[in-house]
């Protein structure tokens, strides 16, 4: 969402003017596409990771402004709540030893940030949802002191018109209410960007949607919220419910949530931006002075500021992005499926798997989205979030007979998707040593049927068996996770349980 949103009040005319500007921006995008004004293929990828600040006791620390001041790097920026940060890795060209390069850059950045946070008795944690978060941590007073977050919160709350209901039935049942969007801040993710040409956009987006469930199955890392064990990957239901502008009556009418998987395969990036205008009222009707069609008439490239801002308030798990670099427009697919963590190696392995398999699927002669109903892809995503590494997913049958079959996620990944990912990485020109190292991490997670969520849950239950209270077990699990995360070995190698005597609580 826009970096320089200034808080203010909106009147009735603002929304109509903004809607008109959105239509002009959409017409501008359509012209840019028709006139083939977009950047040529560059094979560029980018990486963003949302982080938590936690103390040595495993509890959240509301210190992001102070930590950022000490870090003093443009690579790090604020996020929604005071216990959140985000690190951005500069775009890289896919190929060669890119994943080892990313691994080294990310380790260096996080180690530096961790040292700086340590000056304030805090530390950096990569984890989908911090297990020690309490409801009292996720209140509006703990939102970061940034205009755009305050304004977004105020507009979503006003659009809903009542408290937000969190109701997630998983291993245990969580039900509570919130007066703000602050619970969204519990969700920390990895965002994988891939710059694509307009001609390839639909195929890449469709492929990303098709494999989102497999990404979650092998990468789930968010089993706890507010002391309850919920889904293996609890971020999607939490994110949807904590940003839901629909009261129950609109939900019953089938109005689409602002956080959603989608409902159809697409044929162009235009489809997604057009859906944004058709289905979603503006949350932040802030108009830019630019006349996008006049800019185009004069041979320039419009920023399409309203379109970009509005797109940032529709939370697709695979989001289209319009950007301009060096005066040339481009399109990106932003994959927002994965939770943060557990380790740098795991994050890079997840990235290698994604970039490889999406490339291969996008170039198949019989694309998966022509053989897998969209409803099945959406159901797969839900199943993977609920069950993680133990999920069963629907996938097109091999051979000539067509239809789909249901199989274990680990079987699907090992037998079909990992070979595709290897072929895709070869097509990108990634060196075999990088390909084999990072895809080998995914292979081992499948072989051992473990990921971050499975480790967290198993270690928590071991702690309970040793006599710890729930709160003490969650805190001990979090501290152990942090220790192993910084040690850096991938999660499939982590020993389950707590190694040393832990004070009973």
Mean predicted confidence (pLDDT) in 352-369: 97
Query: Which strand (E) or helix (H) includes residue 419?
Result: helix 418-428
**Rg for the chain (alpha carbons), in Å?**
22
What is the average per-residue pLDDT within 269-275? Answer: 98
Query: Could you tell me if 231 and 168 are in contact, meaning their C-beta atoms sit under 8 angstroms apart?
Result: yes
Q: What is the mean pLDDT of the chain?
A: 95
Please determine, for residue 4, whether its predicted confidence score (pLDDT) is greater than 70: no
148: confidence class by pLDDT, cuts 50, 70, 90 = confident
Pairwise CA distance, residues 164 & 283, whole Å: 16
Task: With cut-offs at 50, 70 and 90, classify the pLDDT of residue 7.
Answer: very low
Closest CA to 462 of 477, 479, 443, 447: 477
Nearest to 157 by CA among 244, 271, 94: 244
Predicted confidence at residue 9, as pLDDT, reads: 62
Does pTM top 0.85 for this prediction? yes
Residue 40: which residues within 8 A CB-CB, separation 6 or more?
A: 197
**pLDDT value at residue 424:** 98
The model's confidence at residue 3, banded by pLDDT at 50, 70 and 90, is very low
Q: Which residue has the higher pLDDT, 236 or 15?
A: 236
Q: What is the pLDDT of residue 502?
A: 52
pLDDT tens sequence across 444-478: 999 999 999 999 999 999 999 999 999 999 999 99
Q: Which residues pair with 78 in a beta bridge?
A: 85
pLDDT of res. 401: 73
pLDDT for residue 372? 97
Residue 501 pLDDT grade (very low, low, confident, very high; cuts 50, 70, 90): low
State residue 13's pLDDT score: 81
Q: Please list the helix, strand and coil fractions of the chain in percent, rounded to the nearest 5, in that order.
A: 50, 20, 35
HSE of 328 in the Cβ direction (CA atoms, 13 Å)? 11
Three-state SS for 183-205 is HHHHCCEEEEEEEECHHHHHHHH
pLDDT over 50 at 398, yes or no: yes
């Amino acid at each position: 969402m826009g970096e320089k949103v200034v808080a203010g009040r909106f009147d009735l005319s603002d929304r109509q003017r903004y809607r008109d500007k959105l239509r002009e921006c959409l017409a501008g995008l359509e012209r840019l596409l028709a006139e083939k004004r977009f950047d040529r293929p560059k094979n560029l990828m980018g990486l963003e990771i949302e982080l938590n600040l936690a103390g040595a006791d495993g509890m959240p620390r509301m210190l992001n402004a102070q930590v950022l001041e000490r870090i003093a790097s443009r690579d790090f920026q604020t996020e929604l709540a005071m216990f959140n940060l985000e690190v951005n890795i500069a775009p890289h060209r896919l190929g060669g030893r890119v994943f080892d390069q990313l691994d080294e850059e990310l380790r260096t950045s996080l180690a530096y940030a961790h040292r700086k946070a340590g000056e304030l008795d805090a530390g950096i944690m990569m984890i989908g949802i911090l297990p020690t978060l309490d409801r009292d941590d996720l209140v509006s007073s703990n939102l970061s002191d940034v205009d755009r977050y305050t304004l977004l919160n105020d507009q979503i709350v006003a659009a809903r018109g009542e408290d937000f209901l969190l109701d997630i039935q998983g291993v245990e049942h969580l039900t509570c209410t919130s007066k703000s969007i602050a619970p969204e801040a519990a969700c920390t993710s990895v965002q994988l960007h891939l710059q694509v040409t307009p001609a390839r956009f639909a195929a890449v987006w469709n492929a990303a949607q098709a494999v989102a469930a497999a990404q979650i199955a092998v990468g789930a890392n968010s089993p706890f919220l507010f002391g309850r064990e919920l889904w293996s990957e609890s971020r999607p239901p939490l994110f949807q419910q904590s940003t839901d502008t629909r009261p129950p009556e609109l939900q019953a009418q089938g109005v689409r949530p602002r956080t959603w998987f989608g409902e159809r395969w697409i044929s162009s990036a235009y489809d997604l931006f057009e859906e944004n205008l058709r289905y979603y009222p503006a949350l932040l009707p802030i108009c830019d002075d630019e006349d996008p069609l006049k800019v185009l008439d004069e041979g320039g490239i419009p920023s399409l500021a309203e379109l970009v801002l509005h797109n940032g308030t529709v939370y697709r798990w695979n989001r289209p992005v319009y950007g301009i670099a060096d005066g040339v427009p481009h399109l990106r697919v932003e994959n927002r499926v994965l939770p943060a963590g557990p380790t740098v190696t795991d994050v890079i392995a997840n990235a290698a798997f994604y970039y490889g398999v999406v490339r291969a699927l996008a170039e198949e002669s019989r694309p998966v989205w022509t053989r897998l109903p969209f409803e099945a892809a959406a159901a797969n995503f839900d199943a993977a979030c609920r069950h993680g590494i133990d999920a069963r997913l629907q996938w097109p049958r091999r051979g000539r007979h067509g239809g789909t079959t249901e199989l274990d996620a680990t079987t699907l990944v090992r037998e079909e998707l990992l070979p595709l990912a290897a072929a895709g990485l070869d097509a990108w020109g990634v060196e075999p040593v990088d390909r084999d190292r990072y895809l080998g991490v995914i292979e081992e997670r499948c072989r051992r049927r473990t990921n971050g969520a499975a480790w967290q849950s198993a270690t928590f239950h071991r702690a309970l068996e040793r006599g710890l209270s729930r709160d003490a077990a969650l805190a001990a699990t979090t501290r152990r996770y942090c220790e192993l995360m910084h040690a850096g070995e991938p999660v499939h190698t982590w020993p389950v349980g707590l190694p040393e005597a832990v004070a009973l609580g």
